[in-house]
Amino acid sequence: MTIRSIIQPDNGILRKKAIRVQSFDHKFQTLVDDMVETLLDAPGVGLAAPQIAVSQRLIVVRLQDDEESVKEFGDLAGKLFVVANPEIIKKSKELVEGVEGCLSIPGYIGLVDRHESIVITGQDRKGKALRIKANGWLARVFQHEIDHLDGRLYIDIAKKVWQPRDEEEDEVEME
């Protein structure tokens, strides 16, 4: 496994629509492993393949597994989600405002409206169909990562973007 470099907006790959994953071969499995290792090293809660300069529709998501996260998210804390070709098939009407950061845009955070709950379909790392219902913070993370697959960054839809104070940055988990 290899920790990959996370690209920033000056790299055009972040602004392109990623292509569908067609093959779940050894090369793809290595990509998944590298993305997970990169995410954990960053550290972050979500990573999309375009963020490491790979234009494929693949995301990895893992909520923190510290004591506070376990209280808030229960069994979802620390659970790893690997989703190829994710698609949001259902979303709540209710939007929730929240603060987001991004591993590809270090040093900034923004205020973004996201759907409170969503349903995603896609494929797991072996190509098997999956369906995920996500609420709250997990739904926000999935929406953020899926946006990356369509060449959209949170700064494109944020109400406000700013450089956080040190204590503020510690409170925001990067996606």
Q: What are 29-52's pLDDT values in tens digits?
A: 999 999 999 999 999 999 999 999
Separation between Cα atoms, residue 175 and residue 173, nearest integer Å: 7
Q: What is the pTM of this model?
A: 0.94
Domain that holds residue 76: 12-171
Residue 103, domain member (yes or no): yes
Output helix, strand, coil percentages for the chain, rounded to the nearest 5: 35, 30, 35
Per-residue pLDDT reduced to its tens digit, 75-120: 888 999 999 999 999 999 999 999 999 999 999 999 999 999 999 9
Higher pLDDT, 1 or 126: 126
Q: Is residue 52 part of a domain?
A: yes
Q: Which residue has the tokens 């809660």?
A: 45
Can 145 be counted among the known catalytic residues? yes
Tell me, what CATH number does 158's domain have?
3.90.45.10
Between these two residues, 21 and 170, which has the higher pLDDT value?
21
Q: Which residue, 57, 65, 3, 10, is CA-closest to 35?
A: 3
Set 145, 169, 171, 173: catalytic member: 145
Q: Is residue 4 part of a domain?
A: no
Length of the chain: 175
